[in-house]
A and B are shown apart, each in its own frame.
Chain A
Amino acid sequence: GAVVSQHPSRVICKSGTSVKIECRSLDFQATTMFWYRQFPKQSLMLMATSNEGSKATYEQGVEKDKFLINHASLTLSTLTVTSAHPEDSSFYICSARDQFGQGASYEQYFGPGTRLTVT
């Protein structure tokens, strides 16, 4: 089945530093990946849609200069949290669709998530 990986799984950083999270589709190609943020006991909130070879599309209220997204290949998207602050501490999850797979499936495959703690 389609597999999405994320790295790192956990990261602790100091306030003011930047953190990069990688999302990879391991056995399929994805022109589009999605980045979500999930606070404790809350739902997944879509932050942005990552598009291979073009600029990401951000949801309302998400600062594009703070959450930099790069989708340089069909299997890799990165999210960089710049100048992180304690309120950015959250569970960040990416997902991808296997758009070239069988039957134009709508299914999104989720990465295992990255727990970011900013001290």
Chain B
Amino acid sequence: GENVEQHPSTLSVQEGDSAVIKCTYSDSASNYFPWYKQELGKRPQLIIDIRSNVGEKKDQRIAVTLNKTAKHFSLHITETQPEDSAVYFCAANLPGTASKLTFGTGTRLQVTL
């Protein structure tokens, strides 16, 4: 099955700085890589996703890059704001299994003033 590793586990940045979270996956057949933001006690919310036929995707302050050869993908948040503080999870799907997702271990991002 798929194994997803995520680093760092905690990340503290000052408001306005950039934050980068990295994930690696094990199954080269995975072709969908979403990123979720989860606030305490709430459901995970999709913030951006990328498919394997694309190397980079951007949505305002958020971007994701994918390196299929190295089997890693990264989340980039620029101009961080206090409301970006949350736990972020990466995930990878497993094709042929109704696209069930394997999640990374999560990164707690703290944006300080």
Contact = CB atoms under 8 A, between A and B. Distances in A.
A112 B89 contact: no
Interface string A103-119: 00011101111010000
Contacts of B104: 43
Contacts of A43: 89, 103-106
Interface string A87-117: 0000101000100000000111011110100
B100 A46 contact: yes
A113 B42 contact: yes
A97 B98 contact: yes
Interface in A27-80: 32, 34, 42-46, 49, 51
Chain A interface size band reads: 20 to 34
B69 to A, nearest CB: 21
B92 to A, nearest CB: 11
B101 A46 contact: yes
B85 interface: no
A2 B87 CA distance: 23
A107 B100 contact: no
B43 A49 contact: no
Given A44-B44, A107-B34, A107-B49, A49 B100 contact: yes
Contact of B51 (A32, A106, A110): A106
Nearest to B9: A41
Interface core residue of A43, A45, A46, A115 (most chain B CB under 10 Å): A43
Interface of A: 32, 34, 42-46, 49, 51, 91, 93, 97, 106-108, 110-113, 115
Given A49-B98, A51-B98, 12 more contacts: A43-B103, A43-B104, A46-B100, A46-B102, A46-B103, A49-B97, A91-B41, A93-B43, A106-B51, A108-B99, A110-B44, A110-B45
